[in-house]
Amino acid sequence: METISENACFGGIQGVYSHRSASCDCDMTFGLFLPAEAQDGPVPVLWYLSGLTCTHENAMVKAAAQGWAAEQGIALIFPDTSPRGEAIADDEAYDLGKGAGFYVNATKAPWAPHFQMYDYITKDLTELVFEKFALDASRQAITGHSMGGHGALTIAMREAGRFSSVSAFSPICNPSGSDWGRKQFEAYLGSDESKWAGHDASLLMAEHGFDGPVLIDTGTKDQFLDLLKPEILAQAAAAKRQEMTFRMQPGYDHSYFFVSTFMEDHISFHAEALYA
């Protein structure tokens, strides 16, 4: 692992690091905020998965999360959204290829050799951060924005028992029924839709639910509402009688102005579960 930068931040450290990912077979970069408490021992962790076109950097500089995390003594991890490098396959569309890994393990060409983002998050980066930093693996929560909200919800439901709580800002809720999902799942996973179901938050909610609290915020003026389909997730959660706070926030759009506005709520929500 290589340290790219470390800056003092709210009494802790905002770092950026790069490392070799075995799953993605390339070098990857991530951000990690460590609160001051990490100097005395392992602290709880909130994973933040980003959306389309993002790197590790967008949320790190625009989500206004570090101050609230410092207040709660919680670390934040900001992974990248896809493999990176000259030799890595890409598409000219912003929503496929680099910046658009969708948190799945691709099985189809040309994506399969590097687009292994599910394993990258849940295995490679997980092993690295718990080995190298003062983080408490028994206290983890997960959140994300848009494609990253899809990643947070699906990973939380699939990795049962690992996360105390899950939240999402304007998540893609039903990718197998949306143009933000169908194109990418077909490219990465192939045309057999039965292989998509395990990466669709609404279908996972209907079948498994989540053993813990869920918080979802989406803006009523989100320009991508028809692609996000929050109502499909709400219906699945209601049918499952899932413990969930589901909010449509009046006037807010899809941007980081929306994410940063509700970041305090999300970090407080996770802190309650992480310190329960």
Ligand X SMILES: N[C@@H](CCC(=O)N[C@@H](CS)C(=O)NCC(=O)O)C(=O)O
Catalytic residue among 146, 164, 167, 202: 146
Catalytic residue among 145, 202, 222, 270: 222
| Minimal CB distance residue for ligand X | 51
Q: What is the closest distance, in whole angstroms, from the C-beta atom of residue 15 to ligand X in the complex?
A: 20
Task: Give the Cα separation of 104 and 120 in Å (integer).
Answer: 9
# chain residues binding ligand X, by CB under 6 A: 13
Catalytic residue among 114, 145, 254, 270: 254
Strands (E), 150-243: 163-169, 214-219
Task: Give the Cα separation of 246 and 118 in Å (integer).
Answer: 25
Task: Give the Cα separation of 266 and 165 in Å (integer).
Answer: 10
Told to judge if 254 belongs to the known catalytic residues of this protein, a careful annotator would answer: yes
According to the binding rule CB under 6 A, does residue 257 interact with ligand X? no
Told to judge if 217 belongs to the known catalytic residues of this protein, a careful annotator would answer: no
Told to judge if 194 belongs to the known catalytic residues of this protein, a careful annotator would answer: no
Task: Give the Cα separation of 43 and 22 in Å (integer).
Answer: 26
Q: Which is nearer to ligand X, 94 or 275 (CB)?
A: 94
Q: Binding marks (x or -) toward ligand X, 37..76, rule CB under 6 A?
A: --------------xxxx---x---x--------------
114 touches 24 (CB < 8 A): yes
Which residue among 84, 98, 114, 254 contacts ligand X (CB under 6 A)?
A: 254
According to the binding rule CB under 6 A, does residue 147 interact with ligand X? yes
According to the binding rule CB under 6 A, does residue 94 interact with ligand X? yes
Q: Which is nearer to ligand X, 37 or 80 (CB)?
A: 80
Sign of CA dihedral 228, 50, 150, 244: negative
Residues in contact with 131: Cβ distance below 8 Å, sequence separation at least 6, in sequence order: none
Q: What is the closest distance, in whole angstroms, from the C-beta atom of residue 138 to ligand X in the complex?
A: 31
Q: What is the closest distance, in whole angstroms, from the C-beta atom of residue 97 to ligand X in the complex?
A: 14
Nearest to 121 by CA among 171, 163, 63, 177: 163
Residue appearing with tokens 């209601």: 238
Q: Which is nearer to ligand X, 16 or 206 (CB)?
A: 16
Q: What is the closest distance, in whole angstroms, from the C-beta atom of residue 101 to ligand X in the complex?
A: 13
33 touches 69 (CB < 8 A): yes
> Site residues for ligand X, window 116-145 (CB under 6 A)?
145
Residue appearing with tokens 């989540």: 210
- Please identify every residue annotated as catalytic: 146, 222, 254
